[in-house]
Amino acid sequence: DTGVSQNPRHKITKRGQNVTFRCDPISEHNRLYWYRQTLGQGPEFLTYFQNEAQLEKSRLLSDRFSAERPKGSFSTLEIQRTEQGDSAMYLCASSYTMSTDTQYFGPGTRLTVL
């Protein structure tokens, strides 16, 4: 069990550019979550997948954000036309609903928009 992994760990981009992050969950975990954390705050829920189906989206997830989980394995989070307000840590978590549904978090991708 290698844990949840995220790539890249850091991303610096210019305002207006598109960025894509990847999350690889713990194998056999059927749920995958995305969160965003800004400085001094707790993480905030963005969206989650059960297998390949995206079942919930937070109001925080604007039209510029899109997430996919093809084949129910890894997931990608894309932000189009980035804004300075998108600068944050993007965290991914996974869980296994046939167990306690404990969410395990990856190390995060820190995005800086210049």
- Give the binding site for another protein (CB under 8 A): 31, 33, 35, 37, 41-48, 50, 55-56, 58, 89, 91, 93, 100-105, 107-108, 110
Nearer to another protein, 79 or 88 (CB): 88
Strands 10-13 and 109-113: parallel
CB of 51 to another protein, least distance (A): 13
Nearest Cα residue to 112 out of 93, 90, 88: 88
Q: How many CA atoms lie within 13 A of 78 on its CB side?
A: 10
CB of 102 to another protein, least distance (A): 4
2 or 14, CB closer to another protein?
Answer: 2
- Residue closest to 74 by CA, chosen among 92, 100, 57, 58: 92
